[in-house]
Amino acid sequence: MPYTQADADRLRAAIAKGASKIELNGEKVEFRSLADMRETLNMIESDLAGGQRSAFRISYPRASRGL
């Protein structure tokens, strides 16, 4: 079952309240951290926008000369 805008709104409200337990998509969910909640919200909003979420993250190494 796909996520709905109501799920995104419910999660956004839970983040604002500081709650860690909510009901999403008909299931009760307990998040471990605020970062998990934000990641889930980003995933839901991406799905609602029709975009695809990449499984890979690109990062570039940074170096300094140590001077």
- Based on the structure, what is the number of domains in the chain? 1
Length of the chain: 67
pLDDT in tens, 8-59: 898 899 989 888 888 877 788 888 988 898 998 898 888 888 755 556 667 7
CA 64 to chain centre: 33
For residue 26, what are the contacts with CB-CB under 8 A and spacing of at least 6?
1
Decide if 64 is inside a domain: no
pLDDT at res. 52: 56
Confidence at 65, pLDDT banded by 50, 70, 90: confident
Domain carrying residue 15: 5-49
